Structure 1
Amino acid sequence: MPMEMWWFIGAAGVLLGLAAALLRPGPARAIAPGPQSVALLRGGRRAAVTVALVALQQRGAVTTGRTGTVRTDGRAPVGVRDPLQLAVHTSLQRQIGVRVVASRPRVQRALDALRDELASAGLLRRDGRWRSARALLYAVPLTITAGLLVTPMTAPNTPLQFAVSAVPVAVAAALGCLRRRTRAAGRLLASLRAEHPLGDRSGDGVLSDGVLMSVALYGDTALRRHVAHFARDGGLLGRGSRDTGFHVHHDATGGGASCGA
């Protein structure tokens, strides 16, 4: 193989090594995450906001507005000290949908703080490292393509060039499919599901902290079972409360579709 192509393959290998180092999560430590943290791990930002809204609805501080929207009922959330719940409540100055609530700057800051706590516990890959790794992975196929364009393709060497140059591209694609959620987070969610199986209770009413955890772990299914009217009329059901985890496409903010989805 011409030496020029080896340089490009070597450069792609360096990019892969740097990306792999950035994607390596920190050491996991034992924590007892609350329902909103669990929802953020399982379904991303909107899932965490959904749990916060259900918690506020339990306290009588939030109710449904026009179809597909939520609003405050005019009273302050007594006893609420959670930053995300306070941010969500203050963002409901008018009837708005869940997606709009999740996009409010104060809610975004509260979600960022929650995400940073989970990253410190080794359950999520940190935002800056994640972004940098993504950029390096995108650069790998570009590097290989540049090498193929500038290297003379003599007939005897062409099959070998393509075979070897495909390796770093394949590795970059595999690393690109890594979730932002770590394996430790997956084990934590599995253990929490074992501890908190989906209950049989249905209908709206005064709910317990266990139901908040159920909504955090099971998304739409738990919403329909425990707060059916509030979830349906408030627009809480649907995209953002499913078990999408932290994947490739949306991960500057937390959730997203899986690689190739």
Structure 2
Amino acid sequence: MPTGTWWFIGAAWAELLLAALLLRSGGTRSEETGEGAVPPPQALALLRGGRRAAVTVALVALHQRGAVAAGRKHTIRANGGPGRTRDPVQLGVHGALHRALALRALALRPEARRAVDALRGELREAGLLRPLVRLWAARVLLGCVPLTALAGPFLTGAEDAGLAGALAAGVPPVLVAVVLLRLPDTTKTARRLLSGLRERYPLPAHRREVTDGRLVQLYVALYGDPALALFLPRFSRDGGLLDRPQEVDRNRPREVARNRPSADGGPGAGGPPR
């Protein structure tokens, strides 16, 4: 194997090391995110599942106030004004519903995108999401790793067995780069926060155990589909909010199945969040 090839392999590992250091960096104010400072449900959903999850929780809050309803063919439609709320994400999502939209399309509407992006910026400042500049710098470095590791042998003129050995040596850094690229942009502080909240608020076995609409939003933010299927089965199914619609039948309590008209009524679904 040509000596120059090892320089390329070393450069690939150096890019990986620098990218890993950038990804380890937290936000500018992570020390302010203490045990008592719990972000709102939309923010927690954004940390757990990204834009779609944040929009879903906003829809749950709007649905609890009767501001949105399930439309035809798994869409969401506005059902009056947004109600008494100042939450930017809820207002942005409701403002995007000029017509019935599927969840995926709704999350990409400019009004909803701006609101969620503003929330994402607040979470970066709070140290719950990695700083944007460092995140993109790390991704650029990780994207360069395959070029550096696999293009090096050809640029140095490696042949036959030397070429095979150089390519084999370049595979490990490429695999590590792929793993790092798949990491979420949440920080360790955010993951610790979500884990602690799940321990504090385990998903109940029955919806009747929860009588506070705000708690329903929190459960949906923390657990996603299972909470939607438990607390809002009809709205979630008909509105196309579930990633896996079969979760509804698997998680719906038996008493709700027997009393279908009250699938989204009763304890846990009513009452505007405080």
The TM-score normalised by the length of structure 2 is 0.77
In structure 2, do the counterparts of structure 1 residues 77 and 4 end up closer, same or farther at CA, with 3 Å as the change threshold? same
Indicate conservation of the 8 Å contact 2:201/2:219, yes or no.
yes
* 1:224-261 CA distance string (max 9 Å, x none): 11111111111111169x9xxxxxxxxxxxxxxxxxxx
Structure 1: gaps (5+ residues): 243-261
Pick which of 175-184 and 110-119 moved more. Answer: 175-184
Amino acid at match of 1:138: G
Contact 1:16 1:172 in 2 (8 A): yes
**1:68 equivalent among 70, 74, 79:** 74
Deviation at 1:156, TM superposition (A): 7.8
Alignment partner, residue 84 of structure 2? 79
The CA deviation at 1:83 is 0.4
Is 1:54 the counterpart of 2:60 in the alignment? yes
Give the CA deviation at 1:147.
1.2
Alignment partner of 1:183 is 2:188: yes
For residue 160 of structure 1, report the CA deviation from its aligned partner.
Answer: 6.1
Q: Shift in Å at residue 170 of structure 1? A: 4.1
Aligned to 1:255: none
> Where does residue 118 of structure 2 map in the other structure?
113
Alignment-derived partner of residue 6 in structure 2: 6
- Provide the secondary structure at the position in 1 that maps to 2:69: strand
Change (3 A) 1:230 1:165: closer
The 10-residue stretch of structure 1 (210-219 or 4-13) with the greater mean CA deviation from structure 2: 4-13
Output the CA distance in 1 between the equivalents of 2:158 and 2:172.
18
The DSSP-based 3-state class of the residue aligned with 2:77 is strand
SS at match of 1:11: helix
**Which of the pair has the greater relative contact order for Cα pairs under 8 Å at 6+ separation?**
1
Shift of 1:223: 0.9
Q: Is the 8 A contact 1:202 1:224 kept in 2?
A: no
Query: In structure 1, what residue type is equivalent to 2:98?
Result: Q
C-alpha change, 1:200 and 1:149, in structure 2 (3 Å) is same
Shift of 1:58: 0.8
Give the fraction of aligned pairs with identical amino acids, expressed as a percent.
50
Letter in 2 for 1:143: T
Which string of whole-angstrom CA distances, capped at 9 and with x for unpartnered residues, describes residues 108-156 of structure 1? 1111111122222222223343233222212111112221102243678
Change (3 A) 1:69 1:168: closer
Shift of 1:191: 0.8
Inter-partner Cα distance in structure 1 for 2:26 and 2:140:
20
Distance (whole Å) between structure 1 residues aligned to residue 25 and residue 116 of structure 2: 20
**AA at the equivalent of 1:84:** V
Q: How does 1:14-53 map to 2 (within 5 A)?
A: 14-26=14-26, 28-29=30-31, 30=33, 31-53=37-59
| Partner SS for 1:15 | helix
Structure 2: which 5+ runs fail to align?
A: 248-274
The corresponding residue for 1:197 is 202
1:95 match: 100
Contact 2:198/2:222 (<8 A) preserved: yes
Residues 10/100 of structure 1: CA separation in 2 closer, same or farther (3 Å cut) = same
CA shift in 2, pair 1:235/1:169, >3 Å: closer
User: Which structure has more helix as a fraction of its residues?
Assistant: 2
2:235 corresponds to 1:230 = yes
Q: Structure 1 CA distance, aligned partners of 2:225 and 2:12?
A: 42
- Give the deviation of 1:101 after TM superposition: 1.0
2:11 partner amino acid = A
Superposed displacement of residue 221, structure 1: 1.1
After TM superposition, give the deviation of residue 158 of structure 1 in Å.
5.9
Which secondary structure does the structure 2 equivalent of 1:71 belong to?
strand
The superposition leaves residues 46-71 of structure 1 with CA deviations (integer Å, 9 ceiling, x where unpaired) of 11101000100111111122131111
The one-letter amino acid paired with 2:83 is V
Q: Is the 8 A contact 2:153 2:163 kept in 1?
A: no
Establish whether residue 104 from structure 1 lines up as the match of residue 96 from structure 2.
Answer: no
**1:184 Cα offset (Å):** 2.1
